[in-house]
Structure 1
Amino acid sequence: MKHIIEGKVGPQIKPAAPAASLLLVDEESAGQRLDNFLIRHLKGVPKTHVYRIIRSGEVRINKGRVAADTRVQTGDSVRVPPVRLSERAAEKADAPAPAREFPILFEDDHLLAIAKPSGVAVHGGSGVSFGVIEQLRQARPQARFLELVHRLDRETSGILLLAKKRSALTHLQDQFRDRETGKTYLALATGAWPANKKVIDSALHKYLLPDGERRVKVVDKDHPDAMRAVTLVRVRSGLAPVQLAGLPAFSLLEVTIKTGRTHQIRVHLASSGHAIAGDDKYGDFELNKRLVRQGLKRMFLHAWRLQFKHPASGETLQLELPLPPELQSFIDAQPSPSSSP
């Protein structure tokens, strides 16, 4: 990556304003989304600020306004406004991520599929110095190319796909964008899910809280910033109330997303009156406290199955990853409906 500074020297009577910079996109970065490209290069800058400067039009590609999901190409010139880091943030940005490997589900010369644990971000950003991608790059210094194909929320566990070649990244991201992949999650929802409610087709809208934290809500399809989101729900099993613990009934759901919107499953289920157990953003906060005392100390959302076409051979691959022990043990400890009093 090369930096070119643009701007003119101001009058001598006052200091020149900080200059914008230009980032030139190299071959290894080609095909990345603009937001991912900036998050990687603006180390230590909060993700909320990255999205803010994109939305405001201060970030330009080849002098034109762009969106966060615009894909950069080799030779593109990305204009970035001046961004400042606190001294502490700058120190964190300079500190390398600790090297770490994750359980491998599939790997060849083109791609890598791993089991991401809950509590680990997929990349560094707002309030997080590093994530899976930075740790893997430190653990694999010989890797010439390693990029995230998609994302999972920090508290979501499950299958995470990475590309080891630029051609694989482009091919796989095209599949995700064109809805040619199959992504199914296991979610524990509060209450008894209606068996006849199989499709949620509710538009979503992203917004920021006063402190800059990102949130998502269901809006009317005619809302100016509405993004269509489609979620398919299938009941795997129901769990009876645990009377002594004061817990309600739960439903274990297989949830397939046809669109990959931010917090889509969490918001769709919560807006239907069946929030995900342990969800600290859209869930039942009082219930979550009781769940912690019963052994559920994280959000019960797990990326269980992923189906896609291999970027080189075209072969259909289907990967599955069972529930991690902390979620399975919580399920095993609960009575089934037939055993309830």
Structure 2
Amino acid sequence: MPRRVTRSLKTKPLPQRQGIDPVCLLLPRAGESAEEAAAAQPPRPTETFGAETVLDYLVARFFPHERAPIAARFERGEVVDDDGRQVSAGAPLAGQQIWYYRQLGDERPVPFDMPVLFEDDWVLAIDKPHFLPTTPNGSFVLHTALAKLRVRENNPDLIPIHRLDRLTAGVVLFAKTPEARAPFQTMFQERFVSKVYEAVAAPIERLGEGESIEFSSRITKQHGNLQVSQLTAEAAEAAGLATNSRTRITCLREFSLASGVLPETSSVNPELSFPRGRLAHLRLEPHTGKTHQLRAHLWALSSPIAGDVLYPRVLGYHPDEPLLPLQLLARSVSFEHPVTGEATTITSQRQLKLTQLSA
């Protein structure tokens, strides 16, 4: 059956470049007071860095020690207004909205494959590999699933319906048209989707093969902290707080690694130790979707996921260790299709590496 490609004719003032959208930025107005900026619709930023022109503002805000990269954008005609008209470097700050291409850094290429698991006129589901970000974030912009898929599928309208962490592999859904975004995103926001994950971790005390437990906690995430904060259900109750995260955990089996298949420690990341002793292959069914919920719940049960560089402690930044990706996989999503009404289940075909190295 031939692959389907669905497109919209809607365009931005600047086209996508290599699958990456141009940046939209609302500028302040030179000399405007904070009160005047706050009263504007929409409210404008107030910090002008003492700049009077668009070029000076962008340089002061983004590249204060290197003016040339910003100036070159204007010389190439790559800074435009909402109507696509070129903005000159000397244009005064007047609270206008501009569009431009972001400056790409030297990204580390990520080996990836993204096989299609499901597709119809509205949605595309792929099997995301470990280490590939879903969307541009931080130092990864070009080497992301979204940018690569937009180019591969020749569809600039692709947008993720939900996200997986960069280190997590498995099923990710993308809306194919602007009209498809709302019903699918609402489906996830209203928790009309059943998600199943798998993980390899240390065995959970008193959880035998085939047995399940429910774990609840209160998770909070503070800006700037890599780890979440967590209170067990008992601690939350004692503090008069409600839990906000719940996961059903099932032990599929326990196993040991075959002798000699992994070294003692990573040569890529000296702080990362390879697992030893007994391991558990777990099925995880989150009933809520808090940040790092699965990783935090298993950490709280003294069963951190193998390959985790955040829990139980934050390891220093090192290149990814291909011998031991985070052993967490989004195995499947199940839902009633919001357009067709059909019961739909999409399943990853990937396998967690450590389950394939068992003795």
For the aligned pair, the TM-score class normalised by the smaller chain equals 0.5 to 0.7
What does residue range 243-258 of structure 1 map to in structure 2 within 5 Å?
A: 247-258=276-287
- The unaligned stretches of length 5 or more in structure 1 are 11-15, 22-57, 64-76, 287-291, 336-341
- Residue 62 of structure 2 aligns to a residue whose secondary structure is coil
- Which of 272, 294, 307 is equivalent to 1:265? 294
Q: Return the alpha-carbon distance in structure 2 between the equivalents of residues 183 and 4 of structure 1.
A: 36
CA contact (8 A) 1:93 1:129 kept: no
Matched, 1:301 2:328: yes
Q: How does 1:169-318 map to 2 (within 5 A)?
A: 169-193=181-205, 194-195=207-208, 198-208=213-223, 212=224, 214-219=226-231, 220-221=235-236, 228-240=244-256, 247-283=276-312, 296-318=323-345
Distance 1:300 1:166 in 2: 34
State yes or no: 1:85 paired with 2:62: yes
Using the alignment, how far apart are the partners of 1:315 and 1:138 within structure 2? Answer: 29
Residue 102 of structure 1 pairs with residue 114 of structure 2: yes
Query: Residue 170 of structure 1: SS of its match in structure 2?
Result: helix
Query: Normalising by the residue count of structure 2, what TM-score does the alignment of the two structures yield?
Result: 0.62
- Given that 2:28 and 2:45 are in contact with CA atoms closer than 8 Å, whether structure 1 keeps it comes out as no
Report how far residue 79 of structure 1 moved: 5.4
Distance change >3 Å, CA 101–CA 280, structure 1 → 2: closer
Structure whose residues are more often helix by fraction: 1
C-alpha distance in structure 1 between counterparts of 2:258 and 2:113, whole Å: 38
Assess, with a 3 A threshold, how the Cα gap between structure 1 residues 243 and 175 changes in structure 2: closer, same or farther.
same
- The whole-number CA distance in structure 2 between the counterparts of 1:6 and 1:241 is 57
The 10-residue stretch of structure 1 (256-265 or 167-176) with the greater mean CA deviation from structure 2: 167-176
Cα deviation, 1:213-251, whole Å, max 9, x if unaligned, reads 532121354779987111111111111376877812111
1:101–1:135 contact (8 Å) kept in structure 2: no
Aligned-residue RMSD, C-alpha: 4.0
CA shift, 1:275, in A, is 0.4
SS in 2 for 1:113: strand
Partner Cα separation in structure 2 for residue 120 and residue 249 of structure 1: 29
Choose from 151, 170, 193 the match for 1:138.
151
| 5+ long unaligned stretches in structure 2 | 1-11, 14-23, 48-57, 74-100, 265-274, 316-320
Q: Is the CA contact 1:115–1:159 (under 8 Å) kept in the aligned structure 2? A: yes
Q: CA contact under 8 A between 2:187 and 2:338: conserved in structure 1?
A: no
Could you tell me which of 308, 316, 323 is aligned with 2:350? 323
Number of aligned pairs? 265
Q: Match for 1:331: what amino acid?
A: T
CA deviation map 1:125-183 (0-9, x unaligned):
22323321122223344x25211100101010100000012332211111111111011
Partner of 1:136, secondary structure, is helix
Q: Which amino acid aligns with 1:333?
A: L
Q: Closer, same or farther in 2 for the Cα pair 1:213/1:89, shift >3 Å?
A: farther
Closer, same or farther: CA 114–4 of 1 in aligned 2, 3 Å: closer
Distance 1:6 1:155, change over 3 A: closer
The residue aligned with 1:333 is 357
TM-score (normalised: structure 1): 0.65
Q: Secondary structure in 2 aligned to 1:214?
A: coil
Matched-pair contact (CA < 8 Å) for 1:104–1:112: yes
